[in-house]
Structure 1
């Protein structure tokens, strides 16, 4: 144990980026993973930890996966397209990552063929099968106020007699990015007792009777870490048994001790020097759930770099990059534009349509860039007319049978109904839980459906969606900021 403790005192670079299920590696207290923008640092509070026998790292189900398979430390505890392709080149469909149930476009496709796994290999997407009609947390069906039909189904899964809407147990297959399993102190934080995006109280965890943030999953289909673990075991790991309360507690304990963020820039150097306080140590040591406008302004950890040009110890490239990050942070907080036709913002919150505000209007949590006010928002990334063309994804037609959608009307076309697959409400079509903005450089592609391949494409989508009119310099500054997170 003394040797393990000594090994954890300084950041180490793992010789093998990919964590295989059950390999029994030691997870250090601090580990750096190089990426195209610099390096990511993963911190484990009270580390190091021998992962042998730990239920997060062991293959528990029938397909050979462990939780770590889709939540790789080198990918900010998510899964990058580079890692996915590397595993296919090494092992093809035999790697547990490409398990037929959700690591392929549909389980009944020929699994040895690359095209059967194209959504994972080309877009980083895992299949998520949701019951139709939706089910409440006790398993009872939810009465819906919309009908759903398949317009286009390139994967074949939604029209399948076994896996689709016509199956004996009807399902809707949507395809989403794995969310990061890190920085949960912030993800679980509750800044308000209500979900203003629905004008309702925060959801209650049926197991504990306690209010929860509802920010764990893209569609809020589970409310607690414990419920998320059971959901993932049954679906992604195809685990047929029942994990003991002790093992579930070991997983939740581990997940709440992991912090991940970019630590260095290949151009600008270390992110916690020159007066800046970037990197995961600030996440680890700061209180969670603070509203930037009332406490520490979001991304103010880079404010000191506004004067980087005066630092003679830096190279010209370092000075220019650091000043760009500081400008990007200021732009994020202050650049005003009109936000329109966005459920969860323009309605039902009462801000008006459009409303004049900034990126930090929603991405307002200090150190994290999530929303202090929990709830789901429709940015249009999955829904016409705003979504970029996604011919590889299924397309659904939603017909509201009650009140029409406040912005799309009675008939909606979408690649992913999002939160509506949990609530059964037409007004929730397209709404997705806001994600953490940390460790972005390590886990491309972006948005829930992987529709932005690069950070620049993220900025350009917002620019088009809200007619912001960013200059080339503003785009570069915002990209550099995102790379520093």
Structure 2
């Protein structure tokens, strides 16, 4: 039933209109490697709630031979395979399901290395790719223990539906031990904000910022979910060797071309089917604002987070009278949602990266903008990782399809979970080897959400309401039903 539901959503998505350039015949939503399409300066795609827009500075750009769009390794993939323009430069579960229905296992997306639950499974069978097809999750294989690190915890497999952590060739007991976790692809756009330096140190750990070993310069730390690489250049090399199966490192010229493309690309929701243009009637939604604005400011010090929608709340009655009742109701809801996001406070407790190790207090009272604090983007200005509980028991939702591990601290107990932790993904701890980092994940941008469900690093929230409901359960916030809907409408407008 779950597979049929996602496939139905995928077919509906694919039936949506796409604006290509100046009214040319729309191509397939899916970008295959080596197609040689032209990437236009403005590119619109219909999604579940309206229209997503991509803007490319100094576009259009020819993609023939471009390393982001070209299969340079033996598995037939390119960067675009897992970072699709119609999915806000990420990868939605609906798009994955449609690709399986169209091509099955022969599609490069389902390459055995990380597009299946485990490379040892029969690759022609749908069940071998269920985590990707049904949940949009890519397999991430991390060496265990980490290189040049002595962990202060033991790691055991409690259960593993993927089979990979117990596999004699790919698992924890193999000759080259690895742990397999499953995560959503992160969006590849709006890097002016993602790379911005909001602090001169890591306030979540009270430590100096990490340095890029190639340049010696501090880096933002907001790239990878588990912080395993410090820079976009290192991220490209990591992806080339794992997800793309390149047989040699990308050369400097290819890296420069990919960096140029990624840093020129902006993505955000442009229109809503209920609220109309998101940059209309005084509001400043859409990617154009991202394109022209300066990043790296805390909303409390610069432009308040999501204040780009205040004009809808403050519009004169005569102006509002010209809106249809449907438009008026949606726009009022978005403006209220922005205020709830900024102003409704609640007690944040037992959250590593906030309540420990540096001590904001446990609990500490604040609102959503405590972490989602960057103007125009909603990501965290501060580098470093936070444990929201999405992967750790007892806070994580029931996720029977994911591996479950037991972490036993051999040094100090975890400050919030004690000596033993059950987790679906140790997160940042797979990089540092520190028990205190179990479950900590790098926060990401909130732009283009409607185009890239499901949400959270492990895809545990199938829709935007699921995101709100998780926070409500985790922190006992006390949202009213109206506030929940207002937050959903805000997020679909981003």
Show the 5 A alignment for 1:461-472.
Answer: 461-472=470-481
Quick check: 2:21–2:43 contact (8 Å CA) kept in 1?
no
- Paired residue for 2:448, among 433, 439, 451? 439
Gaps of 5+ in 1: 1-6, 136-140
Aligned to 1:4: none
The two structures have a TM-score, normalised by structure 1, of 0.96
State the 1:52 CA deviation: 0.2
**SS of structure 1 residue aligned to 2:271:** strand
Gaps of 5+ in 2: 1-18
Give the Cα–Cα distance (whole angstroms) in 2 for the partners of residues 10 and 472 of structure 1.
42
Give the Cα–Cα distance (whole angstroms) in 2 for the partners of residues 128 and 61 of structure 1.
18
Count matched residues. Answer: 474
Aligned to 1:3: none
- Paired residue for 1:152, among 156, 159, 170? 159
Give the Cα–Cα distance (whole angstroms) in 1 for the partners of residues 115 and 61 of structure 2.
29
- Quickly say closer, same or farther: Cα 1:115–1:420, change in 2 above 3 A: same
Quick check: 1:8–1:48 contact (8 Å CA) kept in 2?
no
State the 1:196 CA deviation: 1.0
Quick check: 1:11–1:31 contact (8 Å CA) kept in 2?
no
State the 1:12 CA deviation: 7.3
Q: What per-residue deviation string (whole Å, max 9, x for no partner) do you get for residues 136-189 of structure 1?
A: xxxxx2111111010001111001111011111100000000000000010001
Give the Cα–Cα distance (whole angstroms) in 1 for the partners of residues 143 and 31 of structure 2.
32
Give the Cα–Cα distance (whole angstroms) in 1 for the partners of residues 450 and 46 of structure 2.
10
**SS of structure 1 residue aligned to 2:165:** coil
Show the 5 A alignment for 1:44-193.
Answer: 44-135=56-147, 141-193=148-200
Quick check: 2:346–2:477 contact (8 Å CA) kept in 1?
yes
Give the Cα–Cα distance (whole angstroms) in 1 for the partners of residues 170 and 43 of structure 2.
41
**SS of structure 1 residue aligned to 2:406:** strand
- Paired residue for 1:426, among 425, 431, 435? 435
Give the Cα–Cα distance (whole angstroms) in 2 for the partners of residues 13 and 352 of structure 1.
57
Give the Cα–Cα distance (whole angstroms) in 1 for the partners of residues 462 and 37 of structure 2.
31
State the 1:13 CA deviation: 8.2
- Paired residue for 1:324, among 320, 328, 333? 333
Give the Cα–Cα distance (whole angstroms) in 1 for the partners of residues 80 and 491 of structure 2.
25
Aligned to 1:42: 54
The two structures have a TM-score, normalised by structure 2, of 0.94
Quick check: 2:20–2:44 contact (8 Å CA) kept in 1?
no
- Are positions 1:361 and 2:370 aligned together? yes
**Runs of 4+ with deviation above 2 angstroms:** 7-15, 307-310
State the 1:246 CA deviation: 0.5
User: Alignment RMSD, CA only?
Assistant: 1.3
State the 1:9 CA deviation: 7.6
**Which stretch of structure 1 is more off in the superposition, 419-428 or 190-199?**
190-199
Give the Cα–Cα distance (whole angstroms) in 2 for the partners of residues 11 and 417 of structure 1.
47
